[in-house]
Each structure stands twice: as C-alpha cells, then as structure tokens.
C-alpha cells in the first residue's frame, strides 16, 4: 500500500459522511431513513452505523438527539416560541422529558436558559459538528485512533461453508439461538475438531427495532452437510478482511466495531466491501467470564 | 429447565488459585482424556485436542437433546509427564494427557455412543483413543501462573519451596488448567492454574 493512498481514503470517507451530516441537519424533523443515509455514505446499511459512530464519536441516534437539543436551545434564545412547542419540535412527547434532557445537557432548565445571558447553545463534542441556524455543516473532525496499540491485521480468507441458524430478535438474546443450534449440530457429531463459531449481524440495533434485528449463528461444516429444518447452509465469502481482536464482554463489541470501521478503516487506504462483518468466537460465555471473552471482528475489504 | 451445571463452580475450593502457592484438597474427578507424545501445537497434539473436544461436545449435546441434565463443557486441562528436568527433554518427546473435566453421571456408554457418532461423521480415528477415567490427585499445591508457558518453571520452583516449608514434596504429575486461549491472548497475559500433587516428605 502506498502511503499516499491513506489520506485519500480519509478524505473519501469524510466527504461521504459530510453529505450524511448535511442531510441529517436538513431533515431534523423527520424519522431517520437508514437506507438513504447509507446510500449517501456509499456504505452498506449494516456497515453504516459502525463507520458513523467511529468517525463522529457518537452514534447516529445520539447525534440527532443532540442536534435537536442544540436547535431547541438556540430557539429558546432567539425566538419567542413557547417552550412546549420547542419541546415538541425537538421530538419530546412531554415537557417533562424535554426539561430532563435539556437540564442534563446544559445544566439549566429551559426557562432558566432562556433568561440567562452568556450561555452557549452547544453541547461539547470532539467532532465539532453543531446545529447552526440555516447553515450546513462544512466540515468535521474525524475521531483519531484513540488506542495506539490497536492491532489490526489483514487476512485473506477462503470462502467458508457454514451451517447456520437465523436469530430474529434482540442481539443480547442470541445465546438462546446458539444453545439450540449447537445442540442440534453437537448431537450429530458436528462440533469438535476446530469448528469455527461465527456470528453475522445483519442489522443496526440503533435503527432496527430489537424484535426485528437479524443475526446468523454459524458453524463451519464440510461438503457432506445438508440443510435441514431450522438449519440452513450458506457460503461466507472469502477475500480480504481487516481483523481486530475484541477482548471482553459481547455488549462492548460495538466499541471495537466503531474503532475498526470508523477510526482504522478511513486511514487504511482500503474500502469496505458490502458483505457483512463477521465475528469469530474463540471461547464461550458458558465457561468464561465476560471480561475474558475473545472475539475476532472481521470487516470485509474491497480488493486492493 | 434445570440450571446448567458448572463443575468449576460446584467444586470451587479445588480451583482456588491465587498468585502464590496454596494447598488444595481435591476429590476424585472424572475426565474425558487422551494421551500422546509430541510437541505442543504439533500435528498429533492438535488432532488429539480436536478428538477430545469432539467427544466432549457430542456427549453433552446428545444428552441435552434427550432432555437430560445440561452442563458446561469445562476448560482444557493437561497433565505432563517428565523424567527429570523438562528443559532437558526435546519437545517432540514430551508426554502428555489432555483432559476435560466431565460430570460423574457421564457413563462409558455415553462415550461409546459419541465416538460412534463422530466416526460415522468421518472424524479422525483419534476419537477412538478418548477415554473416560477418574483421576484422584488428593492433596495438591496449586497457584495461578500468569505469563508464557515457558516461564512455568519459575512458578513450579515457588510451589516446590512452599511444599517443603509445609513438610511436603511435589510428587507429580504436573497438571495445568488452561484459563486463556493461547491463539489470541498474548503470552504475558496467559492465565494457567498449575496444580501438582504433593505427599509427606518422609513418605
């Protein structure tokens, strides 16, 4: 890889995300359309939230909530609009909920804030993206690689034939699917000599309702294995993958995804491929404390 | 559904492992095991690990499918057999027994059925070498070793002095319980429980 390739990809990802930020600010009153945002970012929807969170230092949901609060603060200062209406337009259903969120962000109630002089309507954020009345965001600071010891390797994987069971429901309940799936495979002698346990998440839990998020629990199998009942067969595409080992509980995987896709990737000179990310598990919560769990996160890359 | 049985939690006192030597009294325990000779990570060693896990998973899942008591498959353990100083023996001559602790209610029949299932699946012949056996280590000196396996001799030296200070001597074999996965955890962070049976000095 040439060094000159690195800033070019950083510029590419920053430009794409800037289009997304402009779109968000122009549609603050509408529900988020993930497909549209992902299209503007030139990213697959299942990659979008990791890149966004990693580069902006906040999730899409937090970003929108923060901008709406900043807009509300600015309206309190600059207009005579009643607080109830401002609250409603900031997407809060009750005045109380709005006051609570507002106080948490600015340390003052909306009424106090309106009366007080010399307090800004911005909430501190490293990206430097804020709500500005009738002005589009012109740039942002992409998050730096915060963990200098982060060790990302690039691996070329062969396509993997896997048996899988689809889980539809909250991601924190995939354990139940694994229990059922490994029981059905294990009783037939299909676990043992280095089977690889792989997870594929198809949805963004920040956007897709928890009861609709999809996840595939996968185990590598040989050519002789046939799909049956609830167990399907798929081939996980081979090719280059950027690999980061995540040490610790599964509910913190999102942080590692954001570091890999939002901090490492833009500086890598590589582009993401649209196929899903993979998680390869080295141990199991069944006999391992959450802080000792080891997972390799694989992000698919376009060929060089 | 009955809660999943975790043998390490049930026998908590046997797995106490601070960073300095302690005495533990172990009861006879049942293991799935496979013995061999060769360098750790070598072909034979790797095939045996695969066979051992194959048997452990197949037995557990067959029972679970039949609605019987579920349990967690325990971590990999190993006994190492040396005549004299391990450093003097070439690695390809190291003798070991790889083990996975298994509940007492697992029978020879459970094991035989699992081996048949695995062979029918075309798994390698090593599965036929997996045994179900009871190991009784009695009183042991035990401690947690943090770091590369190559530095275990320092840990064992501490354990030996501790045994002597308590009127005991290490009688072996050297037993390791692998808490970390060496494929990903860096050597300096590897956690291993080291256990060595001990007897009275005058015995």
Please indicate, yes or no, if residue B125 is contained in any of the structural domains.
yes
Listed in sequence order, the residues at least 6 apart from A225 whose beta carbon sits closer than 8 Å to its beta carbon are: A161, A163, A190, A233
Residues B74 and B116 reside in one and the same domain: yes
Q: With H, G, I as helix, E, B as strand and everything else as coil, classify residue B103.
A: coil
* Residue A275 to residue B39: CA distance in whole angstroms: 39
CA distances from A165 to A111, A232, B201 (A): 53, 6, 57
Please indicate, yes or no, if residue A250 is contained in any of the structural domains.
yes
Contact: A189, B117; criterion CB under 8 Å: yes
- Residues of chain B that touch chain A, judged by Cβ-Cβ distance less than 8 Å: 4, 6, 8, 46-47, 49-51, 53-58, 60-62, 64-65, 72-75, 114, 117-118, 120-124, 127, 179-181, 183-185
Residues B156 and B103 reside in one and the same domain: no
Contact: A287, B60; criterion CB under 8 Å: no
**What is the pTM assigned to this prediction?**
0.88
Listed in sequence order, the residues at least 6 apart from A58 whose beta carbon sits closer than 8 Å to its beta carbon are: A66, A125, A127
For A278-296, the pLDDT digits (tens) are 999 999 888 888 999 999 9
Listed in sequence order, the residues at least 6 apart from A112 whose beta carbon sits closer than 8 Å to its beta carbon are: none
CA distances from A142 to A48, A121, A137, B47, B78 (A): 15, 22, 14, 47, 49
Residues A250 and A156 reside in one and the same domain: yes
- Note the pLDDT of residue B192: 97
Does residue A30 carry a pLDDT above 70? yes
| pLDDT tens for each residue of chain B, 203 residues long | 457 899 999 999 999 999 999 999 999 999 999 999 999 989 999 999 999 999 999 999 999 999 999 999 999 999 999 877 777 889 999 999 999 999 999 999 999 999 999 999 888 899 999 999 999 999 999 999 999 999 999 999 999 999 999 999 999 899 999 999 888 899 999 999 999 999 998 76
Please indicate, yes or no, if residue B147 is contained in any of the structural domains.
yes
Residues B101 and B149 reside in one and the same domain: no
**Which of A151, A179, A287 is best to mutate for the B interface (most B CBs within 10 A)?**
A287
Residues B38 and B130 reside in one and the same domain: yes
Asked if residue A209 lies in contact with residue A221, where contact means CB atoms within 8 angstroms, the answer is: no
Please indicate, yes or no, if residue B47 is contained in any of the structural domains.
yes
Cβ contacts of B118 on chain A, cutoff 8 Å:
189, 192
- Note the pLDDT of residue A144: 86
* Residue A210 to residue A198: CA distance in whole angstroms: 21
For A148-172, the pLDDT digits (tens) are 888 999 999 999 999 999 999 999 8
Of A187, A245, A296, the CB nearest to B61: A187
Please indicate, yes or no, if residue A15 is contained in any of the structural domains.
no
Contact: B180, A194; criterion CB under 8 Å: no
Quote the minimal CA–CA distance from A6 to chain B in Å: 28
Q: Based on the structure, what is the number of domains in chain B? A: 2
Cβ contacts of A192 on chain B, cutoff 8 Å:
50-51, 53-58, 118, 123, 127
Residues A157 and A271 reside in one and the same domain: yes
Residues A169 and A95 reside in one and the same domain: no
For A38-94, the pLDDT digits (tens) are 999 999 989 999 999 999 999 998 999 999 999 999 999 989 999 999 999 998 989
Residues A103 and A191 reside in one and the same domain: no
Contact: B180, A292; criterion CB under 8 Å: yes
> Which tokens in the block code for residue B70?
């579920």
Please indicate, yes or no, if residue B168 is contained in any of the structural domains.
yes
Give me the CATH number covering residue B116. 3.20.80.10
Please indicate, yes or no, if residue A3 is contained in any of the structural domains.
no
Q: Based on the structure, what is the number of domains in chain A? A: 2
Residues B58 and B90 reside in one and the same domain: yes
Cβ contacts of B184 on chain A, cutoff 8 Å:
245, 282, 294, 296
Listed in sequence order, the residues at least 6 apart from A93 whose beta carbon sits closer than 8 Å to its beta carbon are: none
Residues B44 and B124 reside in one and the same domain: yes
Cβ contacts of A286 on chain B, cutoff 8 Å:
4, 72-73
**Which of B46, B48, B61 is best to mutate for the A interface (most A CBs within 10 A)?**
B61
Please indicate, yes or no, if residue B9 is contained in any of the structural domains.
no
Please indicate, yes or no, if residue A206 is contained in any of the structural domains.
yes
Asked if residue B96 lies in contact with residue B79, where contact means CB atoms within 8 angstroms, the answer is: yes
Please indicate, yes or no, if residue A56 is contained in any of the structural domains.
no
Give me the CATH number covering residue A67. 1.10.10.60
Mean residue pLDDT of chain A comes to 91
Phi-psi region of B147 (alpha: psi -120 to 50; beta: other; left: phi over 0): left
Which of A105, A111, A104, A103 lies closest to A77 in space, CA to CA? A111
Please indicate, yes or no, if residue B10 is contained in any of the structural domains.
no
Residues A68 and A169 reside in one and the same domain: no
Range of the domain at B185: 16-28+137-203
- Note the pLDDT of residue A6: 64
Residues A79 and A208 reside in one and the same domain: no
Residues B95 and B37 reside in one and the same domain: yes
Asked if residue A200 lies in contact with residue A276, where contact means CB atoms within 8 angstroms, the answer is: yes
Residues B173 and B194 reside in one and the same domain: yes
- Whether the CB of A290 is below 8 Å from some CB of chain B: the reply is no
Residues A84 and A173 reside in one and the same domain: no
Contact: B72, A287; criterion CB under 8 Å: yes
Q: With H, G, I as helix, E, B as strand and everything else as coil, classify residue B66.
A: coil
Residues B36 and B115 reside in one and the same domain: yes
Measured between CA atoms, the residue of chain B closest to residue A181 is B61
| Residue indicated by tokens 């609009």 | A81
Please indicate, yes or no, if residue A256 is contained in any of the structural domains.
yes
Range of the domain at A93: 62-115
Terminus-to-terminus CA distance in chain A, angstroms? 8
Please report which confidence band the pLDDT of residue A2 belongs to, taking 50, 70 and 90 as the band edges: very low
- Note the pLDDT of residue A149: 83
> Which tokens in the block code for residue B159?
């354990």
Residues B74 and B154 reside in one and the same domain: no
Please indicate, yes or no, if residue A111 is contained in any of the structural domains.
yes
Per-residue DSSP letter, B102: -
Residues A219 and A282 reside in one and the same domain: yes
- Whether the CB of A117 is below 8 Å from some CB of chain B: the reply is no
- Kindly provide the ipTM of the predicted complex, given to two decimals: 0.88
Please report which confidence band the pLDDT of residue A133 belongs to, taking 50, 70 and 90 as the band edges: confident
CA-only gyration radius of chain A, Å: 22
- Note the pLDDT of residue A244: 97
Residues B88 and B161 reside in one and the same domain: no
Please indicate, yes or no, if residue A224 is contained in any of the structural domains.
yes
Of A192, A287, A296, the CB nearest to B50: A192
Residues A266 and A169 reside in one and the same domain: yes
Give me the CATH number covering residue A192. 3.20.80.10
Please indicate, yes or no, if residue B11 is contained in any of the structural domains.
no
A contact residues 223-282, partner B, Cβ 8 Å cutoff = 224, 245, 247, 282
| Number of helical H runs and strand E runs in chain B | 4, 9
Please indicate, yes or no, if residue B107 is contained in any of the structural domains.
yes
HEC string of chain A equals CCCCHHHHHHHHHHHHHHHHHHHHHHCCCCCCCHHHHHHHCCCCHHHHHHHHHHHHCCCHHHHHHHHHHHHHHHHHHHCCCCHHHHHHHCCCCCHHHHHHHHHHHHCCCHHHHHHCCCCCCCCCCCCCCCCCCCCCCCCCCCCCCCCCCCCEEEEEECCEEEEEEEEECCHHHHHHHHHHHHHHHHCCCCCCCCCCEEEEECCCCCCCCHHHCEEEEEEECCCCCCCECCEEEEEECCEEEEEEEEECCHHHHHHHHHHHHHHHHHHCCCCECCCCCEEEECCCCCCCCHHHCEEEEEEEECCC
Residues B35 and B74 reside in one and the same domain: yes
């Amino acid at each position: 890889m040439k060094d000159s390739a690195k800033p070019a990809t950083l510029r590419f990802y920053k430009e794409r995300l800037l289009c997304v930020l402009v779109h968000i600010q122009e549609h603050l009153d509408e529900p988020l359309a993930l497909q549209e945002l992902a299209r503007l970012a030139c990213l697959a929807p299942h990659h979008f939230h990791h890149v966004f969170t990693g580069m902006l230092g906040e999730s899409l949901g937090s970003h929108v909530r923060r901008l709406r609060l900043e807009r509300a603060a600015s309206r309190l200062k600059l207009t005579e609009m009643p607080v109830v209406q401002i609250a409603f337009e900031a997407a809060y259903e009750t005045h109380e909920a709005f006051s609570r969120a507002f106080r948490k962000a600015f340390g003052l109630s909306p009424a106090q804030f309106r009366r007080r002089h010399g307090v800004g309507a911005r909430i501190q954020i490293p990206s430097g993206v804020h709500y500005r009345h009738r002005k589009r965001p012109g740039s942002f600071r992409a998050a730096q690689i915060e963990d200098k010891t982060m060790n990302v390797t690039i691996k070329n994987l062969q396509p993997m034939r896997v048996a899988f069971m689809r889980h539809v429901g909250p991601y924190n309940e995939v354990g139940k699917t694994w229990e059922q799936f490994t029981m059905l495979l294990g009783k037939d002698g299909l676990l043992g000599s280095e089977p690889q346990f792989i997870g594929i998440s198809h949805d963004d839990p920040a956007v897709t309702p928890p009861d609709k998020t999809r996840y595939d629990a996968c185990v590598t199998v040989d050519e002789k294995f046939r799909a049956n009942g609830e167990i399907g067969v798929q081939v996980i595409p081979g090719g280059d993958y950027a690999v980061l080992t995540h040490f610790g509980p599964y509910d913190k995987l999102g942080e590692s995804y954001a570091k890999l896709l939002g901090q490492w990737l833009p500086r890598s000179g590589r582009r993401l491929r649209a196929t899903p990310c993979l998680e390869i598990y080295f141990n199991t919560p069944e006999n391992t404390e959450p802080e000792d769990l080891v997972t390799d996160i694989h992000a698919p890359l376009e060929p060089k | 559904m009955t809660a999943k049985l975790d043998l390490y939690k049930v026998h908590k006192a046997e797995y106490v492992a601070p960073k300095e030597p302690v005495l533990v009294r172990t009861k006879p325990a049942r293991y799935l095991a496979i013995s061999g000779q060769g360098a750790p990570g070598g072909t034979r060693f790797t095939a045996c690990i695969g066979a051992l896990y194959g048997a452990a998973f197949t037995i557990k899942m067959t029972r679970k499918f039949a609605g019987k008591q579920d349990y967690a498959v325990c971590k990999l353990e190993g006994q190492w057999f040396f005549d004299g100083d391990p450093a003097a023996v070439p690695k390809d001559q190291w003798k070991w027994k790889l083990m996975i602790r298994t509940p007492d209610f697992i029978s020879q029949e459970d094991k035989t059925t699992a081996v048949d299932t695995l062979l029918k699946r075309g798994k390698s012949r090593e599965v036929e070498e997996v045994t179900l056996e009871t190991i009784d280590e009695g009183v042991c000196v035990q401690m947690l070793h943090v770091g590369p396996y190559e530095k275990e001799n320092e840990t064992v030296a501490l354990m030996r002095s501790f045994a002597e200070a308590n009127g005991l001597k290490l009688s072996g074999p050297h037993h390791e319980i692998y808490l970390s996965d060496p494929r990903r955890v860096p050597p300096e962070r590897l956690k291993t429980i080291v256990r060595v049976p001990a007897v009275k000095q005058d015995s």
